[in-house]
Amino acid sequence: MHFLILGHDGTDPNAPQRRLAVRAAHLALFKEMVEKGVFLYGSAILNDDGQMVGSMIVGDFPSRADLESQWLVHEPYVVGEVWKKVEIHRAQVPPLLLAVDTP
């Protein structure tokens, strides 16, 4: 089951520092999830000035409960209080995109 996850950073003055403090751990976990075939795609969300203000991820989990227990509770941007709001939406990735082999 595919999900679109939108993580919105806090807007307080310390938000960018919190993001940078756990960014390496976030990217390491993201890479692990891609290698396992769980995450299909992700990107930083930028504001008009090009600053990171959130993240989006498309992932494949058996259920929303699995998404939350297998990843979200361990996600450094959640644990590190970077994302102040997380939206989780069911999604449908086109079969064409699922059939693409990546190097």
Q: What is the pLDDT of residue 73?
A: 97
Q: What local confidence, expressed as pLDDT, does residue 96 receive?
A: 78
- pLDDT exceeding 70 applies to what percent of the chain? 95
Q: Which of 25, 11, 85, 34 is nearest to 55 (CA)?
A: 85
What are 3-42's pLDDT values in tens digits? 999 999 999 999 999 999 999 999 999 999 999 999 999 9
Domain ranges of the chain: 2-98
Q: Within the chain, how many helices (H) and strands (E) appear?
A: 4, 4
CATH assignment of 2-98, given 1.10.1240.10, 3.30.70.260, 3.30.70.1060, 3.10.290.10? 3.30.70.1060
Angle subtended at Cα 53 by Cα 49 and Cα 58, rounded to the nearest 5 degrees: 120
Give the C-alpha separation, 55 to 30, whole Å: 11
